[in-house]
Structures are given as structure tokens and as C-alpha cells.
Amino acid sequence: MHRSATQEATGGQMEPQWDDMKVFLAVARQASLSGAGRVLKMDPATVGRRIARLEGAMKAPLFVKSPQGYTLSDAGEKMLDYAESAEAAMRGAAHALDGPSESLNGQIRIGAPDGSANYLLPQVCAAIARDNPDLDIQIVALPRVINLSQREADMAVTVSRPTAGRLLVKKITDYRMHLAASRHYIRDNGPFETLEDLKSKRIVGYIPDMIFDSELDYLTDLGVHRVHLASNSVAVQLKLLAMGAGVGMAHDFTLPSHGRLRRVLADKVSLTRSFYLVRHQGDQHSARMNRFADALSKGLRDEVHRLESQT
């Protein structure tokens, strides 16, 4: 039997094909054969056979099976970098073959915490969509960190800078936060003159054990240890404040949407936080993704500035 040129170049080891890489990436991201099968529209048994064939070709186990599912082995972790690079290259080639276009097309999914997802992204994405009628934009609003490695989204807006992973991270803008309460709550429960006054007020905030990022732990720094009315959703917290349920931290860019709310102790408490845009490292060579990221970042900066100037 004659050895192929590929086998000669690799010392007899077969190089994986792109179809194999797609199956590998699906299992790595879904952590199960059944999950990968749903993504690939393939029977789980077939997915398992494809992974076994790939492991045989690579002469190394790529996954470790456990009660929690399929996790990458050391060899699998090494392959992941190359597989994601190949995926980005294939995606970039597909967009290049579409030919030059003044507008964006296809589908792009953005993950974001619900504060920015509710009060900023709708306006920004609607404007981008108007300029790009062939583009489909999806907003995933979750009160947790979006897992880009699992391909939950193409990019994510975050409130802190990730320190691990193969990611592109760029600061978008700063935003401000203040304590706020409804006009009626302030009238009926004043005064609000010092931080000591907070001790006698009902507090609205996050559910303490569901704070998914330390940047969101606003109240601890103020010495507040009891949250009387709590939610993992910014939108719910603001509705509670607007209904006169108490006092809590509010993003300044949300206040124009809640006319009943007023800032309190603004000269005593003022927080500055930041938004970051996080992307897959392999997308840095995609002109399409770069153009969308630039439009999204500029739109968010402009919208934060516009809304904060109204407070």
C-alpha cells in the first residue's frame, strides 16, 4: 500500500479533516455526545464513532468521560487552539467569497448582562440593523457570564476584563452608578443626608449568592449587609425601586427610562464601572466581525453618553 503525501509529511499519522474538527468542536463545547448531535443534527452514536476515529487518527485520547460529561484531555486542549483557528479561517473564507459589500450580513449573536441588554443594546442593535438589512442580530440576556468557549455567543459585553482564555478584550466605555429611589419613597422615608441614613431604609439589590461578578457587589462597599428585596435581574430591581419598594444602586443610563426615580446621596456615593467587548481570538482576522465590533462599541459609547447626559 502506498503512503499518501499527507502521511509522509506527518510520519504516518493522518491529519484531521475539517469535518472531523467540526465534530470535535461540538463535543468540546457541549460536553456531551447528545448535545453535539443536536448542534450537528447528527445521531449521538455517529458523533461517538467520529470522535473515536479522530482519536485513532491522532493516536491520542481527546476527551475524558466523567459523570459530568466529556471534558478535554491534555491532547484535546492542545487541539482546541488549532480547531478554533481552523473554524475562524473557514468562516473568514466564506465571508470573503461573498464578495465586497457595504453592508454586513449573516447572523451575529451578542451575550450581555441584563442591564446593558435591556437599556442599551436594543437601541444600538436596532440602528446597526437599519444600516445592514441582511444582518440578523441576536441578543442573549443572561444574569451570568456568557461562555464564549462554548459558543453561547459570537461576542459578549462584560462588566470586568477576563483574565483567562483565548479571547480578544477591548474596553468600550465607563458608566456611572448612583443610589436611587422613587420620589414617593424619598418623600415618605427621608431624610437622605448621610450613609448612616441607609441603615433605616429598605434596600433593593442583587441576591447576594447570585452575584456573578465582583464588580456587581455594590452594596458591600457601602456597609450594607441586608438586602430586603432582591433579584438577579437589573430590570426587576429598577421596577421595585420605581414602585417605591426602597433604595438601591442604579445605572445612570437606566434612569431616563424610569421617570419616578431620583438619585439620592449623589454627593456621597458615586460609582464608576466599565463595559468590555470580549470576542473569540480567532475572529481578529475577520473583517466582518471587526466591522460589527467597531459599530457595536461606538454605538454603546454614544448611547451611554446620551442617556447619562439626561440625568
Judge whether 279 and 273 are in contact, CB under 8 Å: no
Give the three cell numbers for residue 10: 506527518
Its pTM stands at 0.71
1, with CB counted inside 10 A (0-12, 13-18, 19+), is exposed
Nearest of 144, 108, 107 to residue 232 by alpha carbon = 144
CA distance 192 to 54: 66
pLDDT confidence of residue 47:
92
Summarised one tens digit per residue, pLDDT across range 65-119 is: 888 889 889 998 888 877 877 776 776 666 555 555 567 888 899 999 999 999 9
Domain 5-96 and domain 174-272, same fold? Reply is no
pLDDT confidence of residue 91:
66
CATH entry 1.10.10.10 includes domain 5-96: yes
27, with CB counted inside 10 A (0-12, 13-18, 19+), is buried
Structural domain boundaries in the chain: 5-96, 106-173+274-308, 174-272
Spell out, as residue ranges, where the chain has pLDDT lower than 50: 1-12
Nearest of 15, 19, 48, 16 to residue 33 by alpha carbon = 48
Summarised one tens digit per residue, pLDDT across range 26-58 is: 888 888 999 888 888 899 999 999 999 999 888
pLDDT confidence of residue 162:
85
Architecture of domain 106-173+274-308: 3-Layer(aba) Sandwich (3.40)
Strand blocks (E) in 90-244: 105-112, 134-141, 155-158, 167-182, 204-205, 229-230
- CATH superfamily of the domain spanning 174-272: Periplasmic binding protein-like II (3.40.190.10)
